[in-house]
Amino acid sequence: MNALQLLFNAITVIFIAATMFAAGLGTTLPALRAVFTDLPLLLLTVLANLVVVPLLGWGIAALFGLPAAGFIALVLVASSPGGPFGAKLSMVQKGDVAAGTAMQVLLAAVASLTFGPMSSGILITAEVGAGISLDVAALVQTMAILQLAPFAIGLMVRHYARHSALSWHPAAATVSNVTFMMVLTGMLLGSWRDVVTLLGSRTLLAGFVLSVVAFAVGTLLATGSRTRRTTMGGIAAVRNVGPPLAAIGIAFGAEQAVLGALAAVLVSGLAAALPIAAVLGHNRHDSTA
């Protein structure tokens, strides 16, 4: 493994851990309790993100006839809810930020355990590649260490040392944002030939369609006001890049074609979700002006 690959892996680990630590610092136990106790919202959101969207990712990949790398990337992304940018979309659309952030954290925590079985089951059933499957036990262990542990630490700091948590949160969020851009840039640069070959391809279109459909599903399968429901739509549209990156490293040896397809799917997904959130935020600003 060369020095650049080691550096990329280190930055990826920092990104995942910093994102979950920042999420823990920014989450209160009452906010999590409010999500847990709203059973209709909880059950519908879990159904949308952990079952419906992964199955839609499989269906879209099959419908578009994606090649193996694109198929794998789309299924991994679809099976991984709880992306930190979901909370940012809540802010962009002037939505229910508290509920959105709490649900994003909850989904990321739960998906750290469900991602492996769901994505592995889909890939095995779809018979993509030459017997490709994920080491579920290794993936669950990796996600527990990289996601659940930092989140739990941040949550405890917020609960027992609130002032420290509030002072640390901006720095942790900055590290998360910067390392996310570094990871995305690294994927694009390291796999630029694969990304270029995907320009105008069905893989980019499939990522765009998945994000739009996930936004719609997340909105429809939610309860409460329109503001809260579209907030849940934004949470569903932005998936968590951490588990797919870990899966590619564990199961596919950081194969460049899969990394390139993953970068393409992520970029096209953000290109779909951000304008939707911006339009919603603009309309809400106009209605309150």
Structural domain includes residue 66: yes
Residue 225 Ramachandran class (φ > 0 left, ψ -120 to 50 alpha, else beta): beta
Residues 6+ apart with CB under 8 A from 272: 207, 208, 209, 211, 212, 215, 237
Helix or strand (DSSP H, E) at 274: helix 256-288
Instruction: Confirm if 42 and 36 have CB atoms less than 8 A apart.
Output: yes
Place of tokens 């409460």: 224
245: CATH: 1.20.1530.20
Residues 6+ apart with CB under 8 A from 200: none
Residues 6+ apart with CB under 8 A from 223: 38, 40, 41, 44, 229
Helix or strand (DSSP H, E) at 247: helix 242-251
Q: How far apart are CA 222 and CA 236, in angstroms?
A: 11
What pLDDT was estimated at residue 167?
Answer: 92
Instruction: Confirm if 105 and 23 have CB atoms less than 8 A apart.
Output: yes
The total number of residues shown for the chain amounts to 289
Which two tokens mark 178? 């910067």
Of the candidates 121, 74, 11, 56, the one whose C-alpha atom is nearest the C-alpha of residue 258 is: 74
**Amino acid letter, residue 69:** A
Structural domain includes residue 289: no
Ranges of the chain with pLDDT below 50: 131
Q: How far apart are CA 258 and CA 68, in angstroms?
A: 8
Structural domain includes residue 145: yes
Structural domain includes residue 55: yes
**Amino acid letter, residue 6:** L
What pLDDT was estimated at residue 181?
Answer: 78
Number of domains in the chain: 1
Q: How far apart are CA 205 and CA 276, in angstroms?
A: 16
Q: How far apart are CA 230 and CA 90, in angstroms?
A: 9
Structural domain includes residue 157: yes
Determine the structural domain holding residue 125 and report its residue range.
3-284
What pLDDT was estimated at residue 210?
Answer: 96
What pLDDT was estimated at residue 259?
Answer: 83
Give the largest CA-CA distance in the chain. Answer: 57
Task: Name the average pLDDT for the chain.
Answer: 83
pTM exceeds 0.85 for this model: no
Structural domain includes residue 223: yes
